[in-house]
Amino acid sequence: MSERLRLAFALLLLPAALAACRDSGKDALFELSGRLVVFNYREAKVTYLVNLVPLQPIAEGEKAVMTMDNPAGGEPIVVTQKLFPNHQKVTLESPPLECLVKDKPYKVAIRIEGAGGALLQGIETTMVSSQDQSMLPDKPLVVGPGYEPNPELAGHPDGKLPGGRGVTCPASS
């Protein structure tokens, strides 16, 4: 087959291939509607936050399992959350993270599982922070229901302690 004929054949198949890609999401249960790295300066913590919008009714017993790269190294972080019928959105949040680095992509995979644990949908994305975790104070700035200044930070108005956060982070690559 000549090069020109191959090119013409490929161009004829391109619209069909693109249509197949577009229609492949027709049976999707959820759509990623937002993802964010949340810095809570007052509480001295950072978390991943992912929002999903149901595209179809949520069945009884479904759950979301979010597996995330651990910025501190080691095993990935896994969060499992039960999904409830009639919810208009699903918000998945990580536990507090350590060692988050600015502009570094961290992988996040979400499994939507049925009541028996069968995979119904997989969603993959990345989280990238525009800030480095070092900008947070080392301890929460306030404690208790009255938001009293944290006594551990007495004499350190910038929130930075001589020993830091007490976490050894892996060398950034």
Q: What is the pLDDT of residue 114?
A: 96
Decide if 31 is inside a domain.
yes
- Pairing of β 63-68 and β 30-40: unpaired
Place of tokens 């007490």: 166
116 Rama class: left (phi>0) / alpha (psi -120 to 50) / beta: alpha
Decide if 114 is inside a domain.
yes
User: How crowded is residue 104: how many other Cβ atoms within 10 Å of its Cβ?
Assistant: 16
Decide if 82 is inside a domain.
yes
Amino acid in position 167: V
Place of tokens 């949040």: 93
Domain residue limits at 69: 26-153
Decide if 48 is inside a domain.
yes
List all residues 6 or more positions away from 153 whose beta carbon is below 8 Å from its beta carbon. Answer: 137, 138, 139, 141, 159, 161
Measured distance CA(109)–CA(126) in Å, rounded: 8
Q: Which two tokens stand for residue 52?
A: 């999903």
- Pairing of β 30-40 and β 77-82: unpaired
Q: What is the pLDDT of residue 157?
A: 83
Decide if 120 is inside a domain.
yes
Is 160 in a helix, a strand, or coil? Answer: coil
Q: Please give the tally of structural domains in the chain.
A: 1
Which domain CATH number covers 102? 2.60.40.10
Place of tokens 């020993």: 163
Decide if 135 is inside a domain.
yes
Decide if 100 is inside a domain.
yes
Decide if 105 is inside a domain.
yes
pLDDT in tens, the chain (173 residues): 555 544 444 444 444 343 333 333 568 999 999 999 999 999 999 999 999 999 999 999 999 999 999 999 999 999 999 999 989 999 999 999 999 999 999 999 999 999 999 999 999 999 999 999 989 999 999 999 998 999 999 999 888 998 888 888 887 65
